[in-house]
């Protein structure tokens, strides 16, 4: 079932799909409560007969709500506030093993990814923020210098407004925006950061494969309740990262990603961007 809700930040209407099992549980629950009331009104014997069913019905409703919480709690929106709780190594190994099955053109599997955690991550954070504060301009390995036009520019502005709106930052407040932006290079205090790299010569063909791999990886993560934020920002100052991780010269950092368990209490994690309706993006023919 598709349901609409109005995004409180951007005012856009977003559609969400309710899994049918939740609806089923709710249906069973509401029917059960109706039968319960009917039984009470009619006579006590009927009520006693039904009471065990009522319990199982209430249990079904409870499970339905738990399932709802699970589905929405592990949704795949960007997360930028994390708990100080590393993901256990065996879970990481399982996720990365499954992500190896991502498809790629001619099965070339161009992804070379670096996961940095713990004290190594903190040391890298210091190197990156040093590079950022040095005042040198970004020198990404790939062409990130795009200037969005038309509707793309509108959507870019809107997503920034949603994000900064969730932090209570006005459009005119450049200083607070900059402070929020800098959090990209401190990995939003996530317990892990990941760099997606590939051979530079692969260009657009490699980038397509990398995107598919990255989304496969993060869907697997969300299944395990792990949140993440993709970050083009982490490809902007590649030199200190490449030196720190011994990444060969022929290879480039396409983008990065901070990840870990979401801080459910953080208001910034409630920012919700809208999506255009499918008839804007999809043509069904035939």
Ligand X SMILES: Cc1cc2nc3c(=O)[nH]c(=O)nc-3n(C[C@H](O)[C@H](O)[C@H](O)COP(=O)(O)O)c2cc1C
What is the binding site for ligand X (CB under 6 A)?
Answer: 77-78, 159, 184, 229-233, 255, 273
Radius of gyration (C-alpha) of the chain in whole angstroms: 24
Least Å distance between CB 183 and ligand X? 8
79: three-class secondary structure by DSSP: coil
Residue with tokens 């990255």: 214
User: Whose Cβ is closer to ligand X: residue 25's or residue 273's?
Assistant: 273
Least Å distance between CB 78 and ligand X? 4
Least Å distance between CB 237 and ligand X? 12
Which residue in 160, 140, 257 sits closest to 210, CA to CA? 257
User: Whose Cβ is closer to ligand X: residue 59's or residue 115's?
Assistant: 115
User: Whose Cβ is closer to ligand X: residue 95's or residue 271's?
Assistant: 271
Least Å distance between CB 83 and ligand X? 18
Least Å distance between CB 49 and ligand X? 50
User: Whose Cβ is closer to ligand X: residue 109's or residue 159's?
Assistant: 159
Exposed, middle or buried: residue 209 (CB in 10 Å: 0-12, 13-18, 19+)? buried
Least Å distance between CB 77 and ligand X? 4
Distance, CA of 268 to CA of 180 (rounded, Å) = 11
Distance, CA of 118 to CA of 183 (rounded, Å) = 17
Distance, CA of 65 to CA of 25 (rounded, Å) = 8
User: Whose Cβ is closer to ligand X: residue 7's or residue 59's?
Assistant: 7
Q: For the chain, give the number of residues.
A: 286
- For residue 60 the two structure tokens come to 């079904």
């Amino acid at each position: 079932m598709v349901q609409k809700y109005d995004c409180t930040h951007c005012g856009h209407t977003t559609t969400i799909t309710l899994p049918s099992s939740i609806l089923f549980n709710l249906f069973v629950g509401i029917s059960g409560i109706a039968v319960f009331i009917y039984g009470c009104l009619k006579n006590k014997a009927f009520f006693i007969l039904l009471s065990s069913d009522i319990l199982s019905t209430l249990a079904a409703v409870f499970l339905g709500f738990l399932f709802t919480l699970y589905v929405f709690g592990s949704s795949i929106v960007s997360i930028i506030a994390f708990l100080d709780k590393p993901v256990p190594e065996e879970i990481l190994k399982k996720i990365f093993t499954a992500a190896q099955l991502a498809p790629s053109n001619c099965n070339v599997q161009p992804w070379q990814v670096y996961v940095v955690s713990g004290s190594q991550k903190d040391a890298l954070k210091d190197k990156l923020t040093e590079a950022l504060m040095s005042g040198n301009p970004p020198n990404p390995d790939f062409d990130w210098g795009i200037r969005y036009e038309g509707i793309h520019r509108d959507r870019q502005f809107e997503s920034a407004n949603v994000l900064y709106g969730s932090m209570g930052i006005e459009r005119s407040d450049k200083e607070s925006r900059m402070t929020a932006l800098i959090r990209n290079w401190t990995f939003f205090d996530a317990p892990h950061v990941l760099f997606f790299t590939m051979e530079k010569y692969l260009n657009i063909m490699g980038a397509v494969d990398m995107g598919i791999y990255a989304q496969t990886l993060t869907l697997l993560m969300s299944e395990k309740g792990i949140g993440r934020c993709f970050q083009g920002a982490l490809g902007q100052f590649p030199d200190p990262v490449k030196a720190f991780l011994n990444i060969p010269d022929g290879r480039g950092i396409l983008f990065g990603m901070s990840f870990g368990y979401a801080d459910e209490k953080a208001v910034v994690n409630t920012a919700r961007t809208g999506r255009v309706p499918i008839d804007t993006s999809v043509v069904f023919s035939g």
